[in-house]
Amino acid sequence: MDLSLTESQEMLKASARELVEREFSKDNLVKKDTNGGFQPSDWKKIADLGWAGLLIPDEFGGEGGSLTDAAVIFHELGRGPVPGPHFSSAVLGTLTVLEGATPEQKMSLLPRLAVGATVVLAPAITESDYGWSASQIQMKAAKRNGSYTLNGAKLFVQDAIGATHILCAARLGSGKIGLFIVDAKTPGVSLRPLPGFTTGVGEVRFDRVIIHESNLLGEGREDGWTILERTLQKAIPILCAYQVGGSEKVFEMSLEYANTRVQFGMVIGRFQRVQDHVIEQVNQLDAARWATYEALWKLDTGQPAAASVHMAKALASEAYYQVCNAAHEVHAGLGIMREYGLYLHTKMSRTLYHYLGDPKFHKRRLTNALEAQGVI
Amino acid sequence: MDFELKFTPELEGFRKKVQDWLKANIPDGMENPADPVDLTLEGYNKQRALGRKMAELGWLYPTYPKEYGGGGLSDDEAIIIETELDRYDQLLPPYYDSGGKLAAATIMVWGTDEQKRAFLPPILTGKVRSWQLLTEPDAGSDLANVKTTAIRDGDHYVVNGQKIFVGSAHGAEWSWMIANTSPNGKRHENLSWFVLPMDLPGVTWTHMDLIFAGNESGALSGYKNTVYLENVRIPAFNLVGGENNGWKVAGTHLELEHGLMQGSLNGDRTLQKVFKVCRDLKREGRHLLEHDDVREELADLYIDSELTRLLHLRNYWMRSAKKPMTYEGPQAYLHMKRAALRTSKSLHKILGPYALTLDKERGLEDGHIEVQQRGGIVAQHPGGTVEIQKVIIARRLGIGRAVKEQAGVLR
């Protein structure tokens, strides 16, 4: 047993932390947030370090890293919190392509995904009947003469704005689900951000969008949902690591503030009511942290991991949300001032709470998985 | 990262040896006791006999030096012995010996060589078992407020006072006691620790009528006593750690109590019993497992139990990798205390009135489910309440003050 990072992971962690502190400081992120959000040039800074291709095997121009390697970086990005398509494109999108694409599709997509700048993928799954089960995919893809016509709307798509391609789940004529790689510039595709107390979500509309059948992932494959479910098992713990990183940073901010803010003639950290909030933070953080890294270890070593993955997402979503709540209790008025930056974490914690399934959803899945593994 | 506790082939060989030995030597009735409520004197004597036999192999207090009657074994070997005993629902030592565990660890740090030679062998070889005499009517969370006095008189201390929530059933040979040795002294500078032979004149005890049961069940005995101390003359030699230095000694001592590795690495057997009941029992015509609300509760129960395992695994790793530890011990303890009450409520929600009966015919899983309803409440105070755990965590994190590391780690 060894719960420490490897030497190379420590190096990844150090360079990720350095990047976040240099390029994505709190002040920078607040400025970006008020000036139209994450820019492609920001994404390039991350991609230039090779991290867009971290999970892509060397034969396709990537780094061939493990899931834990990726999680180490996402943990640090979460401390920003650095928004942008690193998760959507470099993790969820990339792993889906690796899982389901034909060799030709891989050759065409992966090298471009690996450099980051030329293909940016945004998975579009949920619709107006919101949910993360297959039954909620209602958008139709009608086949005619070697092409599919896509009609409908995908809602709450993470990082759609700025994506070059959309990975779209739709119902085929058979009623099964196919995954389409849709160039965002295809006629009939329109993107718009969904504004509010959220980060990076958009709506993608498909108005009689005609897609050649070679863009169906796996060409002719009708098991798109299976591909996606398998991919999600690997991708979700990396998202959890991002939530853990965010929780860690917010905990540190709160501890520091409790030790510097003076009221009633003493630092507020002397008050047990305030201490309770900080203790709640560290408890939530550690629960999410160890559940997440254990799930990653199981995946990287080829063990059955479904129960661990669902537990990790339930805990990490809850942790990030509650850690931010506690931070607002500690920071009071300061916490709602934009320039202080706490709100960036808070709205990210809200956005990711339900992304790829909220705690309730994953707890249901957890019981199912325990049953399937013969634990129950 | 690697979350698997892996042992060398030599250690796995040792495990096999322990397994075989336990199989041959665990007395009848000690194997996963069906009725956790009562242990007869006969059963208790079997536990003690098993302890002495284990001591001959160095397995009773495995990590203590051989010269004092310990096993001279490694932490890994100790973990293996503990894990294997746990399969029989037995702890190490296989009888209630909280006073012995804490006294031995403290004496190792604070005792003189003479005291080590005198006190350690009887504890470590299982010749005596000890209770701890800490809590008093006016000193619970505020241990420094103990009113029991121990006044020097020649070669002895004369002890007067009352201790509550002490021990288990069936008596003890010794106790490990904190008392006030300077009634007019400053707080925290007036305390001392003693090894108290329980057969000294003036020591008496009566049973406290509590809601819990399990009179000798390992560290979790629910059978407690009030101990009365009336002009008890303890030899001055039995004072450990220096007169009026007891609060510093307590730092070592309480660290150990708070940091005890109480989580089993074998998985949560209560939870396995609950799963079984949910497969078998019906509500409103359907098996419990077919109800959505039950399935949600099961997920929560599983998560709490997994977090207990993960936090203990982390603490074990930090300790063996010699990482500096601060808040981790009390954090795991706090989690367990909170999870205990959540578990009680979950079981109640899932099983309704079945969770509350111990009836031989209608009760579930030989009473284990009902016992948890009481055990969850009882678990709130030993080793410090939830609030006390939070006070310690706050100090260790340095909230509103400088970070304080834990006291020296002891084995």
Which CATH code for domain B130-245? 2.40.110.10
CB A348 within 8 A of CB A246: yes
Nearest to A275 among B321, B331, B390 (CB): B390
The pLDDT assigned to A48 comes to 87
pLDDT at residue B262 greater than cutoff 80: no
The Cα–Cα gap between A179 and A217 comes to: 5
The Cα–Cα gap between A349 and A342 comes to: 11
| Among B64, B139, B137, residue whose Cα is nearest residue B103 | B64
pLDDT at residue B39 greater than cutoff 90: no
The total number of residues shown for chain B amounts to 411
The Cα–Cα gap between A244 and A246 comes to: 5
* A326 Cα distance to chain centroid: 23
Nearest to A1 among B5, B296, B300 (CB): B5
Distances (CA, A) of A158 to A92, A285, B339: 11, 24, 35
A111 is written with which tokens? 């090298």
Which CATH code for domain B258-397? 1.20.140.10
The Cα–Cα gap between A20 and A28 comes to: 10
Average pLDDT over residues B98-103: 92
Nearest to B399 among A1, A259, A297 (CB): A259
The amino acid at B156: H
- DSSP structure class, residue A51: G
How many Cβ atoms from other residues are within 10 Å of residue A322's Cβ?
19
B61 is written with which tokens? 């207090």
| Among A319, A322, A291, A324, residue whose Cα is nearest residue A307 | A291
The Cα–Cα gap between A67 and A219 comes to: 27
The Cα–Cα gap between B173 and B165 comes to: 17
How many Cβ atoms from other residues are within 10 Å of residue B41's Cβ?
11
The domain spans of chain B are: 9-95, 130-245, 258-397
| Among B249, B306, B297, B247, residue whose Cα is nearest residue B274 | B297
In DSSP notation, B244-256 reads T-HHHHHHHHHHH
| ipTM confidence score | 0.95
The amino acid at B264: S
Chain B residues within 8 Å of chain A (Cβ atoms): 1-6, 275, 278-279, 289, 292, 295-296, 298-300, 302-303, 306-307, 310-311, 313-314, 316-318, 321, 327, 331, 334-335, 390-391, 393-394, 397-401
The verdict on a CB contact (< 8 Å) between B317 and A3 is: yes
CB A293 within 8 A of CB B1: yes
The pLDDT assigned to B33 comes to 64
B-chain residues within 8 Å CB-CB of A281? Answer: none
Give the gap in angstroms from C-alpha B258 to the nearest C-alpha of chain A: 17
Greatest alpha-carbon span in chain B: 76
| Among A370, A287, A271, residue whose Cα is nearest residue A323 | A287
Same CATH fold assignment for domains B130-245 and B258-397? no
Query: Which option is the CATH number for B9-95: 3.40.50.10490, 1.10.540.10, 3.30.460.80, 2.40.50.180?
Result: 1.10.540.10
Between residues B38 and A23, which one has the greater pLDDT? Answer: A23
Q: What is the pLDDT of residues B276-327, one digit of tens each?
A: 999 999 999 999 999 999 999 999 999 999 999 999 899 889 988 888 888 9
The verdict on a CB contact (< 8 Å) between A272 and B391 is: yes
Looking at the DSSP assignment, which residues form a beta bridge with residue B194?
B177, B239
Q: What is the pLDDT of residues B129-163, one digit of tens each?
A: 999 999 999 999 999 999 999 999 999 999 999 99
pLDDT at residue B127 greater than cutoff 70: yes
The pLDDT assigned to B260 comes to 45
CA atoms within 13 A on the CB side of A226: 7
How many Cβ atoms from other residues are within 10 Å of residue A78's Cβ?
29
Nearest to B1 among A2, A266, A315 (CB): A2
Looking at the DSSP assignment, which residues form a beta bridge with residue A189?
A206
The Cα–Cα gap between A169 and A162 comes to: 19
Give the gap in angstroms from C-alpha A50 to the nearest C-alpha of chain B: 23
The verdict on a CB contact (< 8 Å) between A363 and B311 is: no
CB A99 within 8 A of CB A227: yes
What lies within 8 Å, CB to CB, of B56 at 6+ separation is: none
pLDDT at residue B209 greater than cutoff 80: yes
Mean pLDDT by 10 residues, chain A (376 residues): 96 96 94 83 86 94 96 98 93 96 95 87 95 95 95 96 94 96 97 94 97 94 95 98 98 98 96 98 98 98 97 98 98 96 98 97 97 91
What lies within 8 Å, CB to CB, of A337 at 6+ separation is: none
For B31, the 3-state DSSP assignment is coil
The amino acid at A109: L
Cα dihedral A74, A76, A78, A84 sign: negative
Q: What is the pLDDT of residues B174-183, one digit of tens each?
A: 999 999 999 9
The amino acid at A167: L
E strand residue ranges, chain A: 121-124, 140-144, 147-158, 165-171, 177-183, 189-193, 201-212, 262-263, 266-267
> A40-49, B188-197, B373-382: which has the highest mean pLDDT?
B188-197
- DSSP structure class, residue A136: G
Nearest to A297 among B3, B311, B397 (CB): B3
What lies within 8 Å, CB to CB, of B105 at 6+ separation is: B252, B253, B256, B410, B411
Give the gap in angstroms from C-alpha B105 to the nearest C-alpha of chain A: 26
| Among B261, B137, B211, B265, residue whose Cα is nearest residue B376 | B211
The pLDDT assigned to B408 comes to 46
